[in-house]
Amino acid sequence: MPADTDTEATALAAIMAELDALADSIDDRQLEAVAHLLSDADRVFVQGAGRSGFALQMTAMRLMHLGLTVFVVGETTTPAIREGDVLLTASGSGTTGSVVHAAETARSVSARIAAITTAADSPLADLADVAIVVPAATKLDRSGTASAQYAGSLFEQSVVLIGDAVFHQLWKASGLTADDIWPRHANLE
């Protein structure tokens, strides 16, 4: 069956329009607060489940490129979180059990918490020092009102974009050039 390029182009345009609207609705002060938390952290831990977790792994890589010490929760070499560290999390619902539990653990040792969520009144947002609230559908919202995309796609895309925006802000503030950070790029590929 041949691809229908009009449908593909229409789908891409619809996704881009949703992302543009979403970007306009994110509070810049929340982005700056997350960037500040990360830049002051002894170490950064990232955690999310499913596609949100994959999105945060992209952010972890970029933060490592800047020279931050970064760990992905669940990897075998991830140490215990402690005071002075930051846990960067993402959960559309703000109720994902493993993410909320990690935030509770982080809070219990006086680590700081940054959260990306759609739910300002969620357990995760309540635990967070800074919560970026994204006006996107959660994976259980199939109404099509918050997003025409399937499940939590818009939220997960926003996690990638927010991570890249925070990285970009930190990178520009660092004064480092692309050549300065290039040696940290993976070379065992």
pLDDT given for residue 131 in this prediction: 96
Structure confidence at residue 108 as a pLDDT band (50, 70, 90): very high
What is the predicted pLDDT for the residue at 136? 79
Between residues 59 and 25, the one the model is more confident about: 59
Over the stretch 116-147, which tens digit does the pLDDT of each residue have?
Answer: 999 999 999 999 999 999 987 666 666 666 77
Q: Are strands 130-133 and 86-90 parallel, antiparallel or unpaired?
A: unpaired
CATH homologous superfamily of 17-175 equals Glucose-6-phosphate isomerase like protein; domain 1 (3.40.50.10490)
Structural domain boundaries of the chain? Answer: 17-175
Question: Does 1 or 60 have the greater pLDDT score?
Answer: 60
pLDDT of residue 5 exceeding 80: no
Euclidean distance between CA atoms 26 and 80, whole angstroms = 32
DSSP secondary structure string, the chain? ----HHHHHHHHHHHHHHHHHHHHHS-HHHHHHHHHHHHH-SSEEEEESHHHHHHHHHHHHHHHHTT--EEETTSTT-----TT-EEEEE-SSS--HHHHHHHHHHHHTT-EEEEEES-TTSHHHHH-SEEEE-----TT--SSSS-SSSTTHHHHHHHHHHHHHHHHHHHHHHT--HHHHGGGS----
What's residue 1's pLDDT?
43
Token pair 């560290």 is at which residue? 85
Q: What is the pLDDT of residue 151?
A: 74
Q: Is 75 a catalytic residue?
A: no
The CA distance from 47 to 115, in Å, is 10
Active-site residue, selected from the candidate residues 18, 32, 75, 156 = 156
